[in-house]
Amino acid sequence: MDLEHFITLCRQSPQIVLRDHAAFRQDTSPYTVGARLRVSKLLAGYKYADPQGISFVNAHYEAWAKFVTNLAHWEVADLSLQLPRRERLFIAGWHFPEIPSLFPLAKQIKALLLVSQDAPWLAPLKDNGCTLNIRSRDAALQLKHSMESGRIIAGLLDHYQPDTRFQAAQLLGRTVKTPSGVLELCSRYGYQIAFIAPRSNGIEIVAQVEAVGVSAGELAQRYNDWLESEIRRTPEQWLMWQALPPH
């Protein structure tokens, strides 16, 4: 999907209903159709598992549209998150539509967001020293230094980037590569891991664990267990169905 194009479109035309935009639906269709097929196979009894999958498809289009719109307008978002502490905390997120609404909080508290690209829509965060491109040459060293100092870190662990550290863990009956570099450092430097998810009043921490002395493999599986619970709760809200191995 050409995220930059649709983010620009949302910024130029704030009143646009993105889910009904023909080009957006065309670009999003491969993700949505693939997600419907996997939901129908993995989540028997799900409320949107109708024969044609129409309800799920529409809900998933809506989720993608909300995600892109939130990315386009994150700087004006007004969403708070109650943090259990202000140091040695890793906020473990995943790809759900409201996640960009936490970017202003990250900027406010000078958290370090782990990202996979230096996207133009994240420039205000990067300029404020609040992003770290995990694919950059010295990313591992920068992350180590930040966590030695106890800085709040945040990242999405439901999608693995090639050439980064990972642990094999189970998710929805599949073996997936779960990013583990930050989990290793959480264990080494005594971090608390706080798993976030959308709730009716915004975004909340719905699970947490003290990581000191816990192996990266165990933490990866703990994260995936939390993630699976959220996916089963609202499958249409997970935007990474396409990254789930087919078998």
Judge whether 68 and 7 are in contact, CB under 8 Å. Answer: yes
Domain assignment of residue 169, given as a range: 78-238
Task: Indicate whether 185 and 153 sit together in one domain.
Answer: yes
pLDDT higher than 70, residue 50:
no
Q: Residue 67 has what pLDDT?
A: 96
The pLDDT tens digits for 199-226 are: 987 999 999 999 999 999 999 999 999 9
Q: What type of residue is 57?
A: V
Kind and range of the H or E element at 218?
A: helix 216-233
pTM of structure: 0.93
Q: Residue 47 has what pLDDT?
A: 56
pLDDT higher than 90, residue 245:
no
Q: Please return the burial class of 142, using the count of CB atoms within 10 Å of its CB with bins 0-12, 13-18 and 19+.
A: middle
Q: Does residue 221 lie in a domain region?
A: yes
- Split at pLDDT 50, 70, 90, the class of 46 is low
DSSP code for 152: -
Angle 181-188/216-233 helices, nearest 10 degrees?
120
Task: Indicate whether 137 and 46 sit together in one domain.
Answer: no
The count of domains in the chain is 2
Q: Residue 44 has what pLDDT?
A: 65
pLDDT higher than 70, residue 52:
no
Q: How far apart are CA 40 and CA 98, in angstroms?
A: 25
Average pLDDT over residues 174-201: 96
The pLDDT tens digits for 84-114 are: 999 999 999 999 999 999 999 999 999 999 9
Task: Indicate whether 157 and 212 sit together in one domain.
Answer: yes
Contacts of 167 (CB under 8 A, 6+ apart): 177, 178, 180, 183, 216, 217, 220, 221
- The mean pLDDT of the chain is 92
Q: How far apart are CA 11 and CA 138, in angstroms?
A: 33
Residue with the larger pLDDT of the pair 61 and 50: 61
pLDDT higher than 80, residue 196:
yes
Boundary-marking domain end, from 35, 55, 72: 72
Q: Residue 53 has what pLDDT?
A: 61
Q: Does residue 149 lie in a domain region?
A: yes
Average pLDDT over residues 158-186: 95
